[in-house]
Homo-oligomer: A and B are copies of this chain.
Amino acid sequence: MTALPANRRILLVSRPVGIPQPGDFAIDEAVQEPIHDGQFRIRNLFLSVDPAQRGWANEGSNYAPAVPLGSVMRALAVGRVVETAHADFPVGSHVYGWLGWQHYAVATPADILSQFTAPAAPLSCYAGILGINGLTAHLALNGIGRPRAGDTVLVSTAAGAVGSVVGQLARAQGCEVVGLTGDDDKARLCQARFGYHRADNYKTGTIDTVLDAAVPDGVDVFFDSVGGEILDATLRRMRTGGRIVQCGTASIATWNPAPVGLRNEREVLTRRLSWGGFVIFDHVAEFSGAIAELAAALRSGALAYDEDIRAGLDRAPEALVDLYAGRNRGKVLISLD
């Protein structure tokens, strides 16, 4: 085979507390090793930048082990198989999975979340709306939120890669959909583009005044990715029998030391709530059906989807900082030439 170029990679070199900063990462170039039986080599095309990466970089138990210092930053990506020693992953097929912030990855089937030989949408979509973002929206909303026509559905991070899909899916199911975002432009975008009947910048008042105006009659389904005070305030506005989908806790900068807040068990009890945690990687068996549904909606124009694609591996750390600061307009991806 032809000699492979060096593999440019982004390594995690220091352990951040809270949001990772560019200085926590370093770029290197590594010699590529031969692949073994059962492996295949992938040329990455679109690297995903995700809120969950903070948890993977931080110390301490999470729903995934911490990225070891000195190793490639864990990330999802879409790429093309360029060399193979596995019959199910032929050269030229495309995959989405744990490929890391790097140009090339050597993978086994355990690293792959989905595979597509005949893409039904632009390749970048498979790292976003047809990747964990859209899949989380679809499977968490329907699996835990169980919206019914007429329900009021409140979505935190309403304009985000997940929230923007939740809004549209809930609207299509006949719900009254209300979003919370961190700036006015995103609030407008939610209503103009992502199916929300109403969206509010929660920074324009106290959480209580914003929610009093946004959901005066309460909430049936809360799709929450932030936790913290927004969660506490919404719990106190849930209707009897309401469902809370806990998909993230982005508003909590650090869990060490353990933060305190209002006790919530009385709300769970007296409102007869059902509060469930959702981690997309538990649901890989449901992916192909959900991807087919989402891809059909995307092709038909029923689902709007925005991407914020930045070119070049070295822009990934800054893109992650921007994501936490809300300086993005749609799903953040890094494209590699």
Chain A interface (Cβ within 8 Å of chain B)?
61-63, 224, 227-228, 231, 246-249, 252, 255, 258-279, 282
The answer on a CB contact under 8 Å between A273 and B276 is yes
What would 19 more interface pairs be, CB under 8 Å, given A249-B266, A260-B260, A275-B275?
A61-B270, A63-B269, A63-B270, A63-B272, A227-B265, A227-B266, A246-B268, A264-B264, A268-B276, A269-B278, A270-B279, A272-B276, A272-B277, A272-B279, A273-B275, A273-B276, A274-B274, A274-B276, A275-B276
CA distance A224 to B268 in the complex (A): 12
A314 to chain B, nearest CB (A): 31
The answer on a CB contact under 8 Å between A262 and B265 is no
Known interface pairs A246-B268, A249-B266, A260-B261; A277-B282 also in contact (CB < 8 Å): no
In the complex, chain B residues whose CB is within 8 Å of the CB of A227? 263, 265-266, 269
* This chain: copies in complex: 2
Known interface pairs A273-B276, A276-B274; A262-B258 also in contact (CB < 8 Å): yes
The answer on a CB contact under 8 Å between B269 and A258 is no
CA distance A260 to B274 in the complex (A): 21
Chain B residue at minimum C-beta to C-beta distance from A238: B277
The answer on a CB contact under 8 Å between B247 and A269 is yes
CA distance A71 to B23 in the complex (A): 68
In the complex, chain B residues whose CB is within 8 Å of the CB of A61? 270
A280 to chain B, nearest CB (A): 11
Choose from B252, B267, B269, B271 the contact partner of A248 (Cβ within 8 Å).
B269
CA distance A276 to B275 in the complex (A): 6
The answer on a CB contact under 8 Å between B272 and A278 is yes
